[in-house]
Structure 1
Amino acid sequence: MHLFWGRPFKGIVTALLFSSLTCAIDWDISDEQSLKDAASTSTYAMMKYYYGNETGQIPGAFPDKWWEGSALFLALLEYWHSTGDTTYNEELSIGLQWQSGDDGDYMPSNYSSYLGNDDQMFWGLAAMTAVEYAFPDRSSGFSWLSLAQGVFNTQIKRWDTSSCGGGLRWQIWPYQDGYGMKNSISNGGLFQLSARLARYTGDAIYLTWANKIWDWSVSSPLLSNTTWNVADSTNVDNDCATQGNAQWTYNYGTYLMGAAYMYNYTNGTTQSQWLTAVNGLLNATFDNFFITGGIIEDYYCEPAANCNDNEILFKGLTSAWLGLTALLVPSTFDSIIAKLQTSGAAAAASCTGHNNGTCGVRWYKSTYDGWIGMEEEISATNVFTANLINFNKTAPVTSTTGGNSTSNPTAGEDDSDAESAKTTTITTGDKAGAGILTAVFLAGWIGLMAFMVLGG
């Protein structure tokens, strides 16, 4: 996952490009239709930024921020599942398939030279969500389950025992900035994917890896199973002796989500272990991030108004995972829905921008804060659809409770290019791909936009 160009400039350009998005959002927590309407409004707004369904465009592609396609499709899956509205299902189905790559592991050739493990992982989670919501497989191409399995199979091959006793590095390729780090979202994401595959398929390999990743995480500086602190990263240069302790909602959320799936799938003494983990991580999430008025907030960037595109998405992803946790671990339902309701109401109150329902970032202000973009709309959609669990308490399906996606346990095994250990000669083209977000790119992009806005 990478950093992107500045939000204030983007906001100016976007406001000029999109003069009408949606109607203002009304919010009545006791009225299911009101929540569906709110989700419909923000979903329509976020899809204004998607061009993959237009002639000459590439389905599912966001060239300078490829992973965000998965965040968009995750939100669409939650929207369809929660509301029953099929308006965007074809775009969702085509895009989710199109970006799967030749080997069915979300390593498409156009982007694979500069991906992080977390980038690929999020596409795997999107495919896994399609599986658990029984979103229909396409008649050709890869099944959603095989795509999730393909991501799992390629990522476990990158489990790195050369330093820190194990763990995934943040980046896949040695020439990437961040290759020397092992971080929570990559390892917690693979833990979550493994736990979900274990619950869905019942296959022992996924359960084994979920336990392995969890055990390594708590032995590293990334995750404490006493204080339940989740650090952002640790460094291989000192054999993971220290931590980068930046606090982000989605780092907590991804470990919480995996623990919830493990609780739901296991039983006996192991289930007790996972309930302890769920409660510990959930309480830490509440304490750390539901600050002003009990509203979710990524406080490392929101008060200073310097969140980048990635960071705006974090609390939306976490909101969706909280909703699933409430369904998988019923004892958490009441406390989670209370937080989601408060945050959802505040998010709706932020969606009053530009007289067309544009949503902001700092929901705790309960008014529009001047921000604008696809990421804002995705996060709003996530918290709106998460609130709909109050009207539908059905847990995600498994292969024995309604799931019908075709399994392929060896998916992705033939993709030798997906293994970072097999990297040999790094070409100038590879380096250019990895450096897509450099100052040269940024300056060129700003110049192009300035030409479009001021003189084009």
Structure 2
Amino acid sequence: MDGLWRAIRALIVLQLCTCYAAPDGLTLNLDNIDSVKTVSRELAASAMKYYDGNKPGGTPGLISSMGDFNWWEAGALFGQMVEYWYYTGDTTYNEVTKQALLFQVGPNNNYEPENQTRTEGNDDQAFWAFAAMSAAEFKFPDPDPKQPQWLALAQAVFNRQAARWDDKHCNGGLRWQFNPLNNGYTEKNTISNGCFFQLAARLARYTGNDTYAQWAVKSYEWMAQSPLIDKQYQVFDSIGFNETGCNSEPGPIQWSYNMGTLVAGSAFMYNYTNGADVWKTRLNGLLDNAQKVFFPSQHGGKIMVEYACEPSGNCNKDQRSFKAYLARWLAVTTQLASFTSDRIMPWLQESAGAAFKVCTGGAPGGVVCGRRWYEAQDDGTRDIGNQMTAMSVIQANLAPKRPPPADHKTGTSAGNAGAGGAGERTLTALERIANRHYTIGDKIGGWILTLLLMAVAGFLGVFILSPDDELGHMLKWFTGGVTQQTWYGRNR
């Protein structure tokens, strides 16, 4: 009889709370702070099991266990771990997070480390700046005074990117890549420009310096007049350009992290401007489209879906983590623009429950999650992106219980408005060659040089040039063979 009453009481509790059960006895009650923290702790442990940069032979800040795991996503992971501490108060990962964020700053304290200069783009750099900015806003423990400070690191990245603003092509905007040898150098994409917009907005709110706000307005309005954002607030991925102008359409694909960075940036500007109508209108428009695209009605209208790749099962290693950033940025939006809370929190609650339902395992660090939350069953996929997205959307439900991001009045991080150095780094000889404007004479000379190189290479039996290596790319520039490619969703 006692067992029957216990079962009845348990059923009543489930009816009265926002509760979800997963295999192996782990439960999630979104109405109970301790329950959300417990599940977040399990997911943090499982995400950090992928990290080996703090182990012998590892490089702090890098995740070599994932093979070709991209540098930017490591920055995103540690930004998420800053937020994990902010939401839960758990200090388990603070030291390893601080170590990673400081080790990757590079010789000029601007997140341009020498081991990443070959592939680093503006968006990659921005995700590390976001981690530093979150550390300042959430009052993550400050570094030793002799080390770079969180706010100054974010300011350094802003300064570097503001110097790269390109009015010559497409009337403004940042290129995707700032290294002329990289694929994407002749593209302007939403994530690079959206990140710059969001970083400027966050710096404006934190410092009170209106120069940052002016840059935020400039960058948003450039995107809005470009093909990247249309009048219905659809947010597309990228456009290509050449010396004669912008020469490609962005394509119909929309990604959640593009939307997320614009939503959060608009929320920071709404807050900074004390509720200006223009930012409220933009924020509402973006949320309207976010709901249509990423919380589709066929799955109930409240469960987050990366619709461009999840149903087809072809999400690449980058795209598997995109939902994590939309969830994080929706959460902070509710703190900065309270009128959005009644709309956003049901999305985060339903998505958290759906994410939890596709998780399994109960041992510490042993909780693993599937990818397609809307299926309500584990799809068997395993990836750090799965762990990051589940962790992000679940801990985001703690946002209403936490104070909003700090500013210079309530924060502790020291800034440096001139951080990062002026202008660009010195280009290598190959980059100077690749970045110059070529005449017909140059190209004829390039053909001759190419033929000579081919003859020498053939003679030596080592003709192994790849179109993706530096010399191969340089030769394509000599011969006019560089072609325009659109790389959707960071698939380089």
| TM-score interval (norm. to shorter) | 0.7 to 0.9
Question: Which residue of 188, 209, 223 corresponds with 1:203?
Answer: 209
Other-structure match for 1:4: none
Other-structure match for 2:90: 85
Equivalences for 1:297-312 in 2 at 5 Å? 297-312=305-320
Other-structure match for 1:106: 111
CA contact (8 A) 1:101 1:107 kept: yes
Paired residues in the alignment total 409
> Which secondary structure state, in structure 2, belongs to the residue aligned with residue 189 of structure 1?
helix
Q: What amino acid is aligned across from residue 136 of structure 1 in structure 2?
A: P
1:371 aligns with 2:381: yes
1:253 aligns with 2:263: no
Distance 2:260 2:470 in 1: 30
CA deviation map 1:329-378 (0-9, x unaligned) = 00011111111000000001111269942111111112211111211111
Q: What amino acid is aligned across from residue 84 of structure 1 in structure 2?
A: G
Unaligned runs of 5+ in 2: 1-22, 436-464, 473-492
After superposition, the Cα gap between the structure-2 partners of 1:163 and 1:244, relative to the gap in structure 1 and judged at 3 Å, is: same
Q: What amino acid is aligned across from residue 403 of structure 1 in structure 2?
A: G
Other-structure match for 1:94: 99
Other-structure match for 1:287: 292
Other-structure match for 1:454: none
CA contact (8 A) 1:176 1:434 kept: no
1:28 aligns with 2:21: no
Unaligned runs of 5+ in 1: 1-21, 436-456
CA contact (8 A) 2:40 2:394 kept: yes
CA contact (8 A) 2:335 2:400 kept: no
CA contact (8 A) 1:298 1:315 kept: yes
After superposition, the Cα gap between the structure-2 partners of 1:56 and 1:414, relative to the gap in structure 1 and judged at 3 Å, is: farther
CA deviation map 1:256-315 (0-9, x unaligned) = 1100000000137xx110011111101110111112122000111101111111111111
Distance 2:252 2:194 in 1: 15
After superposition, the Cα gap between the structure-2 partners of 1:434 and 1:115, relative to the gap in structure 1 and judged at 3 Å, is: farther
CA contact (8 A) 1:154 1:412 kept: yes
CA contact (8 A) 1:262 1:274 kept: yes
Equivalences for 1:56-455 in 2 at 5 Å? 56-62=57-63, 64=68, 65-139=70-144, 140-224=146-230, 226-237=231-242, 238-239=245-246, 242-267=249-274, 271-291=276-296, 292-293=299-300, 294-352=302-360, 356-392=366-402, 394-400=403-409, 402-413=410-421, 416-417=424-425, 423-425=431-433, 432=469
CA contact (8 A) 2:137 2:411 kept: yes
CA contact (8 A) 1:25 1:41 kept: no
Other-structure match for 1:55: 56
After superposition, the Cα gap between the structure-2 partners of 1:49 and 1:117, relative to the gap in structure 1 and judged at 3 Å, is: same
After superposition, the Cα gap between the structure-2 partners of 1:367 and 1:144, relative to the gap in structure 1 and judged at 3 Å, is: same
Other-structure match for 1:19: none
CA deviation map 1:100-150 (0-9, x unaligned) = 111111000000121111101111111101110011221032101111011
TM superposition shift of 1:204: 2.1
Distance 2:294 2:45 in 1: 28
Distance 1:223 1:410 in 2: 32
CA deviation map 1:202-222 (0-9, x unaligned) = 112211110110111111001
After superposition, the Cα gap between the structure-2 partners of 1:164 and 1:129, relative to the gap in structure 1 and judged at 3 Å, is: same
Distance 2:239 2:46 in 1: 37
Q: What amino acid is aligned across from residue 206 of structure 1 in structure 2?
A: Y
CA contact (8 A) 1:174 1:420 kept: no
Higher RCO by CA contacts (8 Å cutoff, separation 6 or greater): 1
After superposition, the Cα gap between the structure-2 partners of 1:279 and 1:330, relative to the gap in structure 1 and judged at 3 Å, is: same
> Which secondary structure state, in structure 1, belongs to the residue aligned with residue 188 of structure 2?
strand
User: What TM-score, normalized by structure 1, do the two folds share?
Assistant: 0.85
CA contact (8 A) 1:77 1:130 kept: yes
After superposition, the Cα gap between the structure-2 partners of 1:46 and 1:195, relative to the gap in structure 1 and judged at 3 Å, is: same
Q: What amino acid is aligned across from residue 144 of structure 1 in structure 2?
A: W
After superposition, the Cα gap between the structure-2 partners of 1:434 and 1:306, relative to the gap in structure 1 and judged at 3 Å, is: farther
Q: What amino acid is aligned across from residue 153 of structure 2 in structure 1?
A: L
CA contact (8 A) 2:177 2:185 kept: yes
Distance 2:172 2:430 in 1: 18
Distance 1:375 1:363 in 2: 13
TM superposition shift of 1:160: 1.1
Distance 1:296 1:290 in 2: 5
CA contact (8 A) 1:114 1:433 kept: no
Distance 1:354 1:303 in 2: 28
CA deviation map 1:18-63 (0-9, x unaligned) = xxxx976421111111111111011000000001111221110136
CA contact (8 A) 1:160 1:166 kept: yes
> Which secondary structure state, in structure 1, belongs to the residue aligned with residue 165 of structure 2?
coil
Other-structure match for 1:451: none
For structure 1, which segment, 85-94 or 202-211, has the greater mean C-alpha deviation from structure 2 after superposition?
202-211
TM superposition shift of 1:423: 4.0
TM superposition shift of 1:421: 12
CA contact (8 A) 1:71 1:378 kept: no
CA deviation map 1:314-333 (0-9, x unaligned) = 11110000000011000011
Q: What amino acid is aligned across from residue 306 of structure 1 in structure 2?
A: N
Distance 1:190 1:285 in 2: 20
Q: What amino acid is aligned across from residue 303 of structure 1 in structure 2?
A: P
TM superposition shift of 1:183: 0.6
TM superposition shift of 1:433: 8.0
Distance 1:69 1:418 in 2: 26
Q: What amino acid is aligned across from residue 261 of structure 2 in structure 1?
A: T
TM superposition shift of 1:419: 7.7
> Which secondary structure state, in structure 2, belongs to the residue aligned with residue 27 of structure 1?
strand
After superposition, the Cα gap between the structure-2 partners of 1:434 and 1:75, relative to the gap in structure 1 and judged at 3 Å, is: farther
> Which secondary structure state, in structure 2, belongs to the residue aligned with residue 331 of structure 1?
helix
Distance 2:422 2:273 in 1: 32
